[in-house]
């Protein structure tokens, strides 16, 4: 092929590419020329809607957090919980176990509440000149020491004529020191489990919070932790089951008879009112008693032996009984 023909071929290819580009550009212009850019007044209206929804989400989050605090860290209460004159409160201690809801559990509680309540923030009656289209609301909640962050994935299209504006995600911060309060309450519960009948007022006075101990009945108290350092007061209540733990009972006769040279096996009858595990001890060289209160030995010397049997439960309560072992 001659050089002249090669040049003609190259020119033809460039012309074809140019025509294609012109056609594509025309199509793009035709598509977008039909859409209108928001005017300044419309931009202001859309911004007002965005602010309205953001305020609504924050208000819902504040209400959910308030309910979470007044009910001991749970919004939808489940047994067991304490009924009081001011609210129903989840237990922080129940049957000598730490039952305080974890941070992750409270985050899930608040998320579930917000996922259900956020659609009510799309109040079309507040903006009758606009049309709205929305998707499903989904939130992420993060409880930190000094604030709670809520990220709402809530796709909303706002329409006015042929002009549209889209909201996808809104993030709000609530200045509630829930994480801080939770950490303090964990410390209170740990101390209470170690010393159920002792309230350390000097420990409670260390914190920049108002902490009240409210007796409810003979078996329960309520801790009220009030924070006035934030933009709004915040209150967290927790019920503590303080039912008295009783010592084990040794249900044996005062005298047990044995035969000389004959194997003796007996598990002592010891009960605990709360069903706690019990360990046994003795003060004699005649035999050794196992931790689970079993006596196994062969007596070799006839006579009378005074033995003190002791029993202690998991709460540290103990009982003893003096029993005479008669070897015949």
Give the span between the Cα atoms of 119 and 78, in whole angstroms: 26
What is the pLDDT at residue 43?
Answer: 58
- Give domain status of residue 173, yes or no: no
| 13-18-22 Cα angle (round to 5) | 150
H-helix or E-strand containing 150?
strand 148-160
Give the span between the Cα atoms of 9 and 116, in whole angstroms: 67
What is the pLDDT at residue 16?
Answer: 53
Spatial CB neighbours of 25, under 8 Å, sequence gap ≥ 6: none
Cβ atoms of residues 298 and 271 within 8 Å: no
Its pTM stands at 0.66
Give the span between the Cα atoms of 233 and 230, in whole angstroms: 6
What is the pLDDT at residue 3?
Answer: 41
What is the pLDDT at residue 124?
Answer: 65
What is the pLDDT at residue 100?
Answer: 97
Tell me which long-range contacts 109-113 makes (C-beta under 8 A, separation of at least 24): 109/68, 109/73, 109/74, 109/75, 109/76, 110/61, 110/64, 110/65, 110/68, 110/75, 110/141, 110/143, 110/148, 110/150, 111/139, 111/140, 111/141, 112/75, 112/76, 113/60, 113/64, 113/67, 113/75
Domain at 269, CATH number: 2.60.40.10
Spatial CB neighbours of 107, under 8 Å, sequence gap ≥ 6: 141, 142, 143
- Give domain status of residue 92, yes or no: no
What is the pLDDT at residue 212?
Answer: 95
| Of 246, 287, 244, the residue nearest 268 (C-alpha) | 287
Q: What is the pLDDT along the chain (328 residues), one digit of tens a residue?
A: 444 444 445 555 555 555 544 544 444 444 344 444 445 545 566 777 778 888 989 999 999 999 999 999 999 999 899 999 889 999 999 988 999 999 999 999 999 999 998 888 876 666 767 777 777 888 999 999 999 999 988 787 777 767 777 777 889 999 999 999 999 999 999 999 888 878 889 999 999 999 999 999 888 999 999 999 877 899 999 999 987 778 899 999 999 999 999 999 999 999 998 788 899 999 988 898 998 999 999 998 999 999 999 999 877 789 999 999 999 8
- Give domain status of residue 307, yes or no: yes
Give the span between the Cα atoms of 113 and 137, in whole angstroms: 11
DSSP 19: H
Strand partners, 172: 150
| Of 295, 303, 310, 298, the residue nearest 324 (C-alpha) | 303
Total domains present in the chain: 1
H-helix or E-strand containing 50?
helix 40-70
- Give domain status of residue 264, yes or no: yes
Residue ranges making up the domain that contains 306: 249-327
Neighbours of 202 (CB within 10 A): 6
Give the span between the Cα atoms of 86 and 72, in whole angstroms: 12
Distances 44 to 38, 41, 129, 158 between C-alpha atoms, Å? 10, 5, 14, 13
- Give domain status of residue 152, yes or no: no
- Give domain status of residue 150, yes or no: no
- Give domain status of residue 296, yes or no: yes
- Give domain status of residue 260, yes or no: yes
């Amino acid at each position: 092929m001659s050089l002249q023909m090669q040049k003609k071929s190259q020119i033809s290819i460039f012309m074809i590419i140019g025509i294609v580009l012109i056609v594509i550009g025309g199509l793009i212009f035709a598509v977008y020329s039909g859409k209108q850019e928001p005017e300044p007044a419309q931009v202001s209206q859309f911004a007002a809607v965005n602010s309205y929804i953001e305020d609504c989400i924050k208000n819902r989050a504040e209400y959910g957090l308030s309910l979470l605090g007044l009910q001991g860290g749970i919004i939808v209460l489940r047994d067991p919980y304490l009924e009081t004159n001011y609210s129903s409160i989840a237990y922080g201690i129940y049957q000598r176990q730490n039952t305080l809801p974890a941070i992750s559990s409270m985050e899930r509680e608040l998320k579930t509440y917000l996922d259900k309540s956020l659609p009510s923030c799309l109040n079309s009656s507040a903006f009758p000149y606009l049309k709205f289209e929305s998707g499903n609301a989904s939130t992420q909640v993060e409880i930190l020491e000094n604030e709670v962050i809520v990220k709402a994935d809530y796709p909303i299209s706002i329409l006015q004529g042929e002009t549209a504006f889209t909201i996808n995600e809104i993030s709000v911060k609530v200045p509630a020191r829930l994480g801080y309060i939770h950490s303090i309450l964990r410390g209170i519960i740990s101390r209470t489990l170690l010393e159920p009948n002792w309230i350390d007022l000097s420990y409670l006075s260390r914190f920049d919070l108002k902490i009240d101990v409210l007796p409810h009945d003979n078996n329960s108290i309520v801790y009220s932790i009030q924070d006035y350092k934030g933009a709004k007061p915040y209150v967290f209540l927790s019920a503590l089951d303080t039912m008295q733990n009783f010592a084990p009972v040794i249900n044996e006769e005062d005298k047990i008879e044995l035969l000389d040279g004959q194997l003796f096996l007996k598990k002592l009858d010891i009960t605990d009112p709360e069903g706690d595990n019990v360990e046994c001890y003795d003060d004699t060289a005649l035999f050794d008693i196992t931790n689970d209160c079993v006596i196994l030995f062969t007596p070799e010397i006839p006579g009378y032996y005074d033995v003190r049997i002791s029993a202690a439960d998991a709460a540290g309560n103990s009982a003893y009984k003096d029993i005479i072992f008669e070897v015949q």
